[in-house]
Structure 1
């Protein structure tokens, strides 16, 4: 009986240590982008099985970003809405353990960031976005999300004129407010201050519970 009691005590202590560790990791500047601007359409592909892994990877369907990053994205949205357009977000903050799972499936740094160094998504300082009209309908773009073909490259010319025009509108708007594109994915943008932020491995539902208190 004493052994069982001791094991229970140790287990409770273990849980308390994990909770304490999560609290110490939780950055105070992480925000839900929907709370910043409800007009931004959220469609987190990794919160569903509609992604290249065909698996649900996120424990909650909320798009989290560092607060300064979210504030810049809100500026992009306001700028686009003046043009009758808007943003749809496919991904924001991504826990490191999800990055590791992606790497196990596709260990190619051309398409997936090596979890050894972490992804900028793991820092809460990168977004995957596309354009929509004011009704929330997606505009024609070079490819869909998580497309690993040459057409996804931001310099690709093997796309329609309409897709090229919309890609340029998105690129211009994001760069105007401090987001930098990457060559291989037209939808991916890094915040200009990514080096300020550390990699995190905190589940989305932990943030969700904390924010709903």
Structure 2
């Protein structure tokens, strides 16, 4: 216990940043102050979290209409690290002539929210273990789907968002061909624009090399 306590008092130097990030109770470096975040951004502008406003959005974690049945965000908002945001802008530009667009469900997620989610769903197929942190906590993971621009309607996908069943897995095949094609289209497009998929959630993608961006536990109120 003594060693753990001492470790929690140490500071961790994040690659590419000359300052230091404090370790949390699990020994993870987590940016937990807006002052430190601003210093990191000043040293490396690509670390900035962009307030995303130019996509369709359905931020259910700002309501009780989510798997936790509680309000997790103080207001509906999506933030993404600048490289992730710019990659989605490029994808948006590609999709528009096809009559398609993007609807975002979630982006940056404060670390404290990941802890609350783990209390409800302690299953790392569908929720991030706080001992490891999440790409959402780094601001480089995004939950999204495709929509028809003309109507705003979502393309048919295997499940609704945050459906924690095998039907949401990429390998699940007992689906209509149209749905499988839509699922593959989304993954192909995201991978072509620098994102990686996870196998258990068709809607979840994260930017390559997520470790370049530190975990963060700064609330939306401070970012605003």
Q: TM-score, normalised by structure 2?
A: 0.79
1:25 deviates by 2.8
1:69 alignment partner, SS class: helix
1:91-110 aligned within 5 A? 91-110=106-125
- Structure 2 equivalent of residue 182 of structure 1: 198
1:141 matched to 2:157? The reply is: yes
Q: Please identify the structure whose Cα radius of gyration is greater.
A: 1
CA contact 1:48–1:55 (8 Å) conserved in 2: yes
With over 3 angstroms needed to count, the CA separation of the structure-2 counterparts of 1:151 and 1:22, relative to structure 1, is same
Deviations 1:58-115 (A, max 9, x none): 1121110000110001111111212111100001000000000000111111211101
**Alpha-carbon distance in structure 2 between the residues aligned to 1:24 and 1:113:** 24
Q: Which residue of 2 aligns with 1:57?
A: 72
Matched, 1:112 2:124: no
1:133-182 C-alpha deviation (Å, 9 max, x unpaired): 01311111000011111110012101111211111111111111101110
- RMSD over aligned CA atoms reads 1.4
Q: Which residue of 2 aligns with 1:75?
A: 90
Mapped to 2, the partners of 1:50 and 1:80 lie a distance apart of 29
8 Å contact from structure 1 (residues 181, 189) kept in 2: yes
SS of alignment partner, residue 180 of structure 1? strand
Distance 1:143 1:21 in 2: 37
Number of aligned positions between the proteins: 185
Which residue is 1:87 aligned to?
102
Query: In structure 2, what is the Cα distance between the partners aligned to 1:125 and 1:108?
Result: 21
Higher share of residues assigned helix = 1
Uncovered stretches (5+) of structure 2, i.e. residues with no partner: 1-31, 42-47
Unaligned runs of 5+ in 1: 1-19, 209-213
Residue 220 of structure 2 aligns with which residue?
A: 204
Q: Which segments of structure 1 move beyond 3 Å, counting only runs of 4 or more?
A: none
Match of 2:34 in 1: 22
Residue 79 of structure 1 contacts residue 173 of structure 1 at CA under 8 Å; is this kept in 2? Answer: no
